[in-house]
Amino acid sequence: MNWRGVVTIYRFEMARFYRTLWESLASPVISTVLYFVVFGAAIGGRIEEVEGVSYGAFIVPGLIMLTVLQQSVSNASFGIFFPKFIGTMYEILSAPVSFYEVVIGYVGAAAMKSVIIAGVTLATSFLFVDVTIRHPVWMLAFLVLTSVSFSLLGFLIGIWAKDFQQLQIIPLMVITPLVFLGGAFYSASMLPPFWEGVAKLNPVLYLVSGFRWSFFGLADVPVGVSLLAVGVFLGLGMLAVWYIFRTGWRLRN
């Protein structure tokens, strides 16, 4: 393992994050405040509790998961797309580092950025509601595994995208709708039976459910199934990245 190469890529990506630190942190803080104003005040006035948890606190895990998924995909996709865009990808491919060392550097940096921003989002939520984390170790595990899984997805999107428009299609048109329809701001048990079954076809529901369980002990699906879903995401992402570097798809042309 060429740890020097991994650390170099990681530091380079994190340095870009630190250069725009205030802008990177201001966005989730403002978004969190707006969500609490809209959902917490407007909807929370009509729905006081969900399964014994105040609605304002109930939406915190979903809000964090929304932020994590968006940031993981965006950071990882831009990180690998930019070398393609400016023509420095060949320097990376010709460097004495293997493909998995390149992936560890880029994906590790993107996942770390997502975890930092998730922490800022959680800290901001404490200003509005009283949030109790019943299983902090599992909360951290779900957070890290989800960040890594969707950073891998973002890495794949960055390789696939040919321009900045394509870079934004999947995060805006796929990821965000799936999160909103995946129980981020409501419980699937609140839906009629038919629509509850439809909601369970959404893979993001399993991520949100497991993450919410780590906070309140509440889950729409069994926790083991949520862990399995995270593992499937992670495994598919690693397999796809291996195939791309094995074949050079969208990298050498």
Model confidence at 14, pLDDT cuts 50, 70, 90, reads very high
Model confidence at 64, pLDDT cuts 50, 70, 90, reads very high
- For residues 187-194, give the mean pLDDT: 86
- For residues 70-89, give the mean pLDDT: 87
What are 160-190's pLDDT values in tens digits? Answer: 988 888 888 888 888 888 888 888 888 888 8
Radius of gyration of the chain (CA): 19
pLDDT at 151: 94
Closest CA to 109 of 74, 141, 135, 64: 74
Model confidence at 253, pLDDT cuts 50, 70, 90, reads low
For residue 175 the two structure tokens come to 């990821």
pLDDT at 110: 93
Q: Give the chain's end-to-end CA distance (angstroms, integer).
A: 27
What are 90-119's pLDDT values in tens digits? Answer: 788 777 888 888 889 999 999 999 999 999
Sort residue 87 into left (φ over 0), alpha (ψ -120 to 50) or beta: left
What are 119-174's pLDDT values in tens digits? Answer: 998 998 888 888 889 999 999 999 999 999 999 999 999 989 888 888 888 888 88
- For residues 3-27, give the mean pLDDT: 85
pLDDT at 41: 66
pLDDT at 236: 92
Whether the pLDDT of residue 44 is over 70: the answer is no
